[in-house]
Structure 1
Amino acid sequence: MGSGVIAILLTLMAVVAEMQIEGLTDFTRLDFPPPPNFVFGSGSSAYQVEGAALEDGRTPSIWDTYAHSGYTHGANGDVACDEYHKYKEDVHLMAETGLEAYRFSISWSRLIPNGTGAVNPKGLQYYNNLINELINHGIEPHVTLFHYDTPQILEDEYGGWLSKKAVKDFVAYANVCFREFGDRVQHWTTFNEPNVFVLFGYDSGLLPPNRCSSPFGTNCTRGNSSTEPYTAAHNILMAHASTAKLYMKKYKAVQHGFIGLNIFSYWYIPYTNATEDVIATQRANDFFIGWFLNPLVYGDYPEIMKKNAGTRIPTFTKIESREVKGSFDFLGVNHYATAQVKDMSISLQMDSRDLLADMAVTIKLNESDFPPGQFPLNPAGLKELLEYLKGYGNPPIYIHENGLSAIRNGTLDDIPRLQYLQGFIGSLLTAIRNGSNTKGYFTWSFLDVFELLDGYNSGYGLYYVDLDDKNLKRYPKLSAQWYSSFLKGRSTSSDQKIEVSANISDFKESHFSQ
């Protein structure tokens, strides 16, 4: 990061404490438990931020194949934010912002290009360098092992997560990570939101590996929407359980770390007060959350899933049930929005069904609560979700992703995102005061990264990345300034409004033309 950019950033951060936005509640970082009992950070994933997709021995993942097949508006992650080369600058920027932790994922196909076997020295060096740089700046690394990026070679060889072979290969990959990085990494997440990965990757076919069958999905050349989501999810659960068993048996006593699994979740509310919609809301939670949390906590799938899916959902053997039950130290949660649930039990009368038909609901985002194209601004939904998760034994939880998308048009004046973060962090504080065992909060995302569904048309970043600049310069948005002010213990509201250039061209002209 150039010294000029840092100087500008520091100047803006010095005045952000004088910002006032109507209707915001006043609280500070000091109202939360201090590190290490609670950490604030931000996040990314390997394919979305690293770039260098064809460099230093890395091989394609299914996400590369997906992006290069035209599903993301012609964009791809070949270069992305180029954090592979710019990690030192980015970590320095994280430190200046005040991040206490950084969540990132390791690219399986960068570390082990063939999916199995030999470790890539260049990949190993990169992740060692990144981890060391974070620690040298006082930032705690939180590592995700799988973020939608099965090595394409394994997908081609045996169908990826449709095969039990993936369980063995994933555990071997995780073992390399624990062995090489575990002396410095204390928090390991095996899978990022596998409920979304299998639902959209193997049922609707909207995400990699693009498997589905008619009439449940479109644009797929292979797949079976009725069975494959359940099969892939089962294998992922067993891969998680086997990986957790390895860590707890071989590494935990020496490395003293923690291992968990991440899920995506809306906060669901009934569309009406009708009994069928209330029941449908619980069914949606059982299918979307309980699909993974029930096995982790109780050793089996929810009864309603087993009833509606019948023989299409795998059965846990007694040994599998024992292995998966209790196989976590924490849960990761990705939460963005509240959604309404309407009963669609009529779908259960279909002769052929997929997972969504088995769920028998219609999910509605409450569009009246938010601008077109954005998520509903319902911060209270996070508090309610955390209250619901207390029913699983009040496990330790990290909010791994929370943020607001906006069109990438060069605007730095992102007050809606600032308000979103302030509202959700305030809701989180209420949940903690009500007894939630939440241990951390990460914004999504630190930079405007390559987005899986939208390429570079939209972004969630605290920092704008200028894709037209050969150096991919980073620029702070108002949300970055607010978050930094908050992390440094300043009040979230005060008496004077901040002034900042509203778009990137004005920012560059006023600060870099001299």
Structure 2
Amino acid sequence: MALFLYDTFPAGFLWGAGSAAYQAEGGWRQGGKGASVWDTFAHRAAPAGARQPQPLPSAPAGGDVASDSYNNLFRDAEGLRRLGVSHYRFSLAWARLLPNGTAPPSAAGLAHYGRLLARLRQLGVEPVVTLYHWDLPERLQDAYGGWASPALAELFRDYAELCFRHFGGQVRYWLTIDNPYVVAWHGYATGRLPPGVKGGPQLGYRAAHHLLQAHAKVWHLYNDHFRPTQGGQVSIALSSHWIKPQAMTEQDIQECQKSLDFVLGWFAKPIFIDGDYPQSMKNNLSSLLPEFSDAEKKYIQGTADFFALSFGATLSFQLLDSQMKFHQLESLSLRQLLYWISREYNKPKIFIVENSWFVSGSTKRDDQYEVILLFFLLAIRYDEVDVFGYTVWSLMDGFEWHRGYSIRRGLFYVDFQSHDKKFLPKSSALFYQKLIERNAAHFAEYLPSFHQAS
């Protein structure tokens, strides 16, 4: 046990915190912002399955106000300064920059993100910018059917070009799309999340096909026209669970592989291996799964400069459909998942762009379970996995998608009842600040709370 009581991370390891526009920004009609599919979905009804704590956030609910980051840029920046992070991952709201989803752009939207980037530069915090974190402009859903339409790939490319031209000189790390599994499957197959289309598996697979095509277009756009002068890197944030066999039989082990193929491999294999879907999906889905032409396979293959991994509460135990587990056992082993990715996808450089757990919405400043999750990261030092950065999720409490305000995931507690959205560090923020400052983990300091919580 003594071997694991203390260890350092590699020199230059990137430490970050993250947020998503719809979860944190608020200001849903400020600056001429257009409506997104999440605005429409949240206004139509409370998120499915959300059990709100008492007291409830002041109306309007959904993400209309959320953490009110749109009006509290300097408050958020102060949180980043206190943590001492090297990077901040945030997303651009497509409908804030292009209210109709297409040109002309909003001057107010461009100015808002310009101010945020300028403040980060003053603090010496490097941005990691997500182009699309689930908040499709409603106009594009109404006019085209959203990601169910092949037209979205070119529209997404146009939006990305605007972002690269205006912000690319200040951004070294770009993420095209966050968690395309959730966007495609729960947006267009099950309808659990916006735009709420219950189109069944075939429409879900078609939407995913278009998301992959859109990602590839944006990567090639950057590679051909912006990389020579801006020198950045582009990837896509892929989320995954980890799965263990019910029994150590060949069949159960194969079912575990199939489970990972149907969630992570669905997107990772085309991008990181050969431009095509996993064989297990092709064998099992028959005519439901669209096909890539040989030219499309070549176009999609290799369209990521690093492996951007999301692991934690958003997918695991919440948005992973039971059929995707193939009767095997889901597990929260980040260490094992990292090892599998390294071997499955030819030892890519890995940037953990989202990692978290959650606590009850009634919890204020003591949240040991978020601290415990960081222990999984420490194991990477012993498996020769090339992880170069880590992003804790999230910087602050916010609107938690289908769970509403019933859970909290932030390092900073947000008082949703207060006018100025009072902002206080939790125990996990203090732990993370020490971890970053030392670039090392002192397990012995946290063993009592670890054993108590276990």
Separation (CA, whole Å) in 2 of partners of 1:46 and 1:304: 35
Task: Tell me the secondary structure at the aligned position of residue 44 of structure 2.
Answer: coil
- Please tell me the residue identity of whatever aligns with 1:384: Q
- Cα distance change, pair 145–23 in 1 and its aligned pair in 2 (3 A): farther
Q: Does 1:465 align with 2:440?
A: no
Alpha-carbon shift at residue 484 of structure 1 (Å): 0.6
Match of 1:43 in 2: 18
Q: Secondary structure at the match of 2:362?
A: coil
Q: Does 1:295 align with 2:270?
A: yes
* Secondary structure of the structure 1 residue equivalent to 2:170: coil
- Structure 2's unaligned 5+ residue stretches are 53-60, 449-454
- Whole-Å separation in 2 of the counterparts to 1:113 and 1:265: 32
Partner of 1:253: 228
Deviation at 1:176, TM superposition (A): 0.5
Question: How far 1:494 moved relative to its partner?
Answer: 6.1
**Which SS does the other structure have where 1:440 is aligned?**
strand
Query: Secondary structure in 1 aligned to 2:327?
Result: strand
Q: Does structure 2 retain, via aligned residues, the 8 Å contact 1:339–1:363?
A: no
Determine the structure 2 residue equivalent to 1:217.
none
2:121 is aligned to 135
The alpha-carbon deviation at position 83 of structure 1 amounts to 0.7
Q: Distance in 1 between matches of 2:5 and 2:175?
A: 33
1:34 corresponding residue in structure 2: 11
SS in 2 for 1:241: helix
- Whether the aligned pair in 2 keeps the contact of 1:24 and 1:419 (CA below 8 Å) is no
Q: Distance in 2 between matches of 1:232 and 1:472?
A: 37
- Residue 355 (structure 2) aligns with: 402
| Aligned position for 1:441 | 390
1:492 aligns with 2:445: no
AA of the residue aligned to 1:316: F
Q: Which amino acid aligns with 2:10?
A: P
Could you say if the C-alpha distance between residues 360 and 76 of structure 1 is closer, same or farther in structure 2, counting changes exceeding 3 Å? closer
1:96-116 residue CA offsets vs partner (Å, 9 max, x unmatched): 211111100000000011101
| TM-aligned CA deviation for residue 66 of structure 1 | 1.6
Q: What is the TM-score when the length of structure 1 is the normalising length?
A: 0.80
Task: Indicate the residue corresponding to 1:328 in structure 2.
Answer: 304
2:242/2:330 contact within 8 Å kept = no
Q: Which residue of 1 is the match for residue 282 of structure 2?
A: 306
Is the alpha carbon distance of 1:23 and 1:85 closer, same or farther for their aligned partners in structure 2, counting shifts above 3 Å? farther
Question: Residues 119-146 of structure 1, C-alpha deviation per residue, up to 9 Å, x if partnerless?
Answer: 1000000111111111110111000111
Shift of 1:23: 11
Deviations 1:219-259 (A, max 9, x none): xxxx2x13111100010000000100000000001100000
RMSD, matched Cα: 2.4
User: Structure 2 vs 1, CA of residues 156 and 436 (structure 1 numbering), >3 Å: closer, same or farther?
Assistant: same
Equivalent pair of 2:266/2:277 in contact (CA under 8 Å): yes
Residue of structure 2 equivalent to 1:508: none
Q: Is the 8 A contact 1:201 1:209 kept in 2?
A: yes
Q: Partner of 1:389 in structure 2?
A: 341
- Indicate the residue corresponding to 2:366 in structure 1: 413
State the secondary structure of the residue aligned to 2:221.
helix
> What amino acid is aligned across from residue 215 of structure 2 in structure 1?
H
| 1:433-479: CA deviation from partner (whole Å, max 9, x where unpaired) | x3212121001111011100111111111110011211101111111
Q: 1:416 Cα shift?
A: 2.4
SS in 2 for 1:117: coil
The amino acid of 1:159's aligned partner reads G
Q: 1:46, 1:294 → 2: CA distance?
A: 28
Residue of structure 2 equivalent to 1:104: 90
Q: How much has 1:418 moved relative to structure 2? A: 1.6
Question: Which has the greater radius of gyration?
Answer: 1
Question: After the TM superposition, which of the residue ranges 275-284 and 250-259 deviates more from structure 2?
Answer: 275-284
Aligned residue type for 1:34: A
SS at match of 2:72: helix
Asked if the contact 2:147/2:211 (under 8 Å) is kept, the reply is yes
Distance (Å, rounded) in 2 between the aligned partners of 1:170 and 1:68: 25
How far is 1:363 from its partner? 5.5
Residue 274 of structure 1 and its aligned partner are, at CA, apart by 3.2
Q: Using the alignment, how far apart are the partners of 2:131 and 2:316 within structure 1?
A: 29
- How far has the Cα of 1:172 moved from its partner? 0.2
Q: Name the structure 2 match of 1:14.
A: none
Work out the CA distance in 1 between the residues paired with 2:371 and 2:340.
Answer: 26
What is the match of residue 194 of structure 1?
180
Matching of residue 286 in structure 1 with residue 253 in structure 2:
no
Q: The residue matched to 1:395 in structure 2 has which SS?
A: coil
Hey, what's the Cα distance between the residues in 1 that align with 2:404 and 2:413? 14
User: How far apart, CA to CA, are the structure 1 residues paired with 2:203 and 2:328?
Assistant: 22
Q: 1:465 to 1:25 in 2, by over 3 A?
A: farther
Alignment of 1:115-514 (within 5 A): 115-212=101-198, 223=199, 225-296=200-271, 297-336=273-312, 361-362=326-327, 364-365=329-330, 378=332, 381-390=333-342, 391-421=344-374, 423-430=375-382, 434-489=383-438, 492-493=442-443
Shift in alpha-carbon separation, 1:417–1:308, aligned structure 2, 3 A: same
Distance 1:471 1:271 in 2: 49
| Structure 2 residue aligned with 1:506 | none
Deviations 1:27-62 (A, max 9, x none): 36xx22233xx2011101000000000111101111
SS at 2:378's partner residue?
A: helix
Q: Which amino acid aligns with 1:416?
A: Y
Contact 1:92–1:137 (Cα < 8 Å) also in 2: no
Structure 1: state its 5+ residue gaps. 1-21, 213-222, 341-354, 367-377, 499-514
Match of 2:33, as an amino acid?
R
Amino acid in structure 1 at the alignment position of 2:233? F
The Cα shift of 1:25 comes to 5.0
Deviation at 1:356, TM superposition (A): 7.6
Structure 1 residues 40 and 107, CA gap change in structure 2 (3 angstroms): same
Q: CA deviation at 1:382?
A: 1.4
Amino acid at match of 1:396: K
Report the CA distance between 1:24 and its aligned residue: 12
Aligned to 1:55: 30
Measured in 1, the distance between the counterparts of 2:304 and 2:206 equals 21
Give the match for residue 8 of structure 1: none
Q: Report Cα offsets for 1:345-393 as digits up to 9, x if no partner.
A: xxxxxxxxxx986x68136446xxxxxxxxxxx4xx2121111111211
Letter in 1 for 2:156: F
Q: 1:80 is matched with which residue?
A: 66
Structure 1 residue 425: deviation in Å? 2.5
Q: Note if contact 2:413-2:424 (Cα within 8 Å) is conserved in structure 1.
A: yes
Question: 2:19 touches 2:90 (CA, 8 Å); kept in 1?
Answer: yes
Q: Kindly, what percent of the aligned residue pairs are identical?
A: 35
Give the distance between the partners of 2:284 and 2:39, measured in 1 at CA. 35
Could you tell me how far apart the structure 2 residues matched to 1:416 and 1:24 are? 23
What secondary structure does 2:307 align onto?
Answer: strand
Helix, strand or coil at the partner of 1:488: helix
